[in-house]
């Protein structure tokens, strides 16, 4: 029943404490449905033409206010896939500013995780409601938790997908530090304050923790070098950059020597 809830509607009930695996279904099922709809339409299958604006259509069922003109603005000219921001860390996007802030503070001031007494992270009410998970029951829920993500970032290399594994979930230092992270609602989300045992108080606000220009190659290497090796990963990355010049994409299925497209730890983390 828990899985069926995500198959039919992409529910967020998993954020209450268990069943975090279904989070990975949501975007995938939406994409799958889009491909299925296009395939059926190409084969002559029909649906209601007023599905968007009709009396029982999408807008009136799911929205309280809308502007129909927005649905076609830039259609065929603007493509979101070309401007999508990619993740730097293998956790939920809402955790990225805080993770980057604690990483920057640790690099600048040189303190160890063991010297952290308490951490406060500000966020919107919505973020606090959904991501203030102090005792994640499984790894996937841990990646949804801002306190856990912040704690892991102080103990491990957060940019490495392999850092987000079952050992991290069971690590007593990470679990203990996770419980010392307070996520509080505030008008200026993304501010991290760290209180150290030596009475120092450090503060940093990160606008974003997402991937910046020039970092994509490093991320790709981290995800693929375990299977392809350094040279193989580099060659595949460079070919993917010229994907629009390829005549077909059949070679993609033969690029990796293993049927699993990503290392075990990387796959779970990067799809967070």
Instruction: Give which of 251, 227, 229, 272 is closest to 86, Cα–Cα.
Output: 272
Domain ranges for the chain, please list them: 1-42, 93-205, 216-270
pLDDT in tens, 208-267: 888 887 888 889 988 888 888 889 899 999 999 888 888 888 888 766 554 444 444 444
Local structure of 105: helix, strand or coil: helix
pLDDT in tens, 119-130: 999 989 989 988
pLDDT in tens, 25-59: 888 888 899 999 999 999 999 999 999 999 999 99
pLDDT averaged over every residue in the chain: 87
- The architecture in CATH of the region 93-205 reads 2-Layer Sandwich (3.30)
Instruction: Give which of 24, 266, 16 is closest to 134, Cα–Cα.
Output: 16
- Read off the tokens for 52: 């968007």
Q: Alpha-carbon distance 204 to 192, whole Å?
A: 5
Instruction: Give which of 124, 122, 238, 139 is closest to 183, Cα–Cα.
Output: 122
- Read off the pTM: 0.76
């Amino acid at each position: 029943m828990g899985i069926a809830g995500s198959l039919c509607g992409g529910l967020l009930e998993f954020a209450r404490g268990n069943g975090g695996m279904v989070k990975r279904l949501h975007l995938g099922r939406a994409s799958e449905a889009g491909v299925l709809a296009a395939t059926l339409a190409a084969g002559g299958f029909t649906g209601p033409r007023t599905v968007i604006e009709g009396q029982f259509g999408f807008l009136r069922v799911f929205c309280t206010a809308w502007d129909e003109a927005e649905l076609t603005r830039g259609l065929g000219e603007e493509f979101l896939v070309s401007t999508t921001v990619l993740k730097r860390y293998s956790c939920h996007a809402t955790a990225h500013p805080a993770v980057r802030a604690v990483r920057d503070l640790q690099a600048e001031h040189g303190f160890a995780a063991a010297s952290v007494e308490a951490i406060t992270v500000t966020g919107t009410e919505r973020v606090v409601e959904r991501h203030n998970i102090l005792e994640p029951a499984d790894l996937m829920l841990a990646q949804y938790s801002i306190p856990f993500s912040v704690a892991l970032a102080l103990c491990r290399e957060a940019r490495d997908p392999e850092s987000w594994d079952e050992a991290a979930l069971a690590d007593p230092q990470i679990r203990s530090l996770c419980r010392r992270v307070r996520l509080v609602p505030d008008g200026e989300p993304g501010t991290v304050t760290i209180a150290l045992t030596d009475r120092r108080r450090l503060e940093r606000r990160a606008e974003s923790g997402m991937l910046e220009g020039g970092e994509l190659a490093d991320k790709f290497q981290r995800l693929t070098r375990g299977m392809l090796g350094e040279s193989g990963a580099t060659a595949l990355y460079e070919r993917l950059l010229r994907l629009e010049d390829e005549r077909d994409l059949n070679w993609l299925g033969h690029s990796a020597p293993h049927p699993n497209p990503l290392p075990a730890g990387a796959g779970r983390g990067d799809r967070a």
